[in-house]
Amino acid sequence: MTSDTLDFERFRLAASTATLADEPAARDHADLVEFRMDLAEDPLDQLADYDGDLPLLCTNRPTWEGGEADDDGRLDALEAASEHDAVAAIDVEIAAIEDGAQPTLDYAHEHDAAVVASVHDFEGTPESERLARLLARAAAAGDVGKLAVTAETREETLRLLSITHAMTREGATVATMAMGEVGAHTRAVAPGYGSKIGYAPVDPSDATAPGQYDLETLAELVESLSGE
Ligand SMILES: O=C1C[C@@](O)(C(=O)O)C[C@@H](O)[C@@H]1O
């Protein structure tokens, strides 16, 4: 599969990994692989050697947004990744975009890669107005606006689902999830409110965020709740 066969008009399940050789284990349940370049050894070499079936979403998360990449060469690596046919999308944080990373987005688009503009809150869930503003900023910045928060109460998960539903109704392409145990169910139900990307680890012992289901479980939950 090459990148131009994937869009985010409907829900896509991403299997997260730092090891592209894991891709065969994801094929049965995932639509794409999220390649966590910041957690990977020799990510550009892995990309050059990749000959799997699933398209790739490349993430190079900086330390200041919960990842392990330092800023030196981080965006250059994402640009180099976007040159590969298998790379359907790259993930860039809205803080980076608003701080001058737009040329990286333009470069990705020139190479037929979509942009997931992301924002993460590892501490909590902002109140509704701020939540709406964050998701609107992300949706305006990328082809998909992604918001991951940390929920501690059911009320917070409802706020997230509600904003997901409202923005989707307005025509925005968004992906949302609440990290942590309380929010875990949002990973299964947010697609029903319009969320277009879900994440689950290829290897359950290598979760890339708190509260993630394993890949097979999330695939089954989303499918059984989708009503299709
Ligand atoms: O941003 C996201 C979403 C995520 O944080 C999650 O909560 O599933 C997992 C990350 O790998 C991915 O880059």
CATH code at 155? 3.20.20.70
Ligand 1 pocket: which of 17, 177, 182, 222 to mutate (most atoms <8 Å of CB)? 177
For residue 208, give both structure tokens: 């890339």
Q: Which atom of ligand 1 is nearest to the CA of 177?
A: 7
Is 228 domain-assigned? no
| Ligand 1 contact via 17 beta carbon (within 6 Å) | no
Q: Which atom of ligand 1 is nearest to the CA of 120?
A: 1
Is 143 domain-assigned? yes
Q: Which residues are annotated as a binding site for 3-dehydroquinate?
A: 16, 34-36, 61, 187, 208, 212
Global pTM value: 0.96
Total domains present in the chain? 1
Report how far residue 106's alpha carbon sits from residue 82's, in angstroms, rounded to the nearest whole number: 11
Q: Is 185 a catalytic residue?
A: no
Is 58 domain-assigned? yes
Is 168 domain-assigned? yes
Ligand 1 pocket: which of 34, 56, 121, 146 to mutate (most atoms <8 Å of CB)? 34
Is 227 domain-assigned? no
Q: What is the mean pLDDT of each run of 10 residues along the chain (228 residues)?
A: 73 97 97 98 98 98 98 97 98 97 98 98 97 98 98 98 98 98 97 98 88 95 85
Is 194 domain-assigned? yes
What range does the domain containing 14 cover?
3-218
ipTM of the complex, rounded to two decimals: 0.95
For residue 83, give both structure tokens: 């040159």
Is 14 domain-assigned? yes
What is the residue whose two structure tokens read 């109140």?
Answer: 127
Is 226 domain-assigned? no
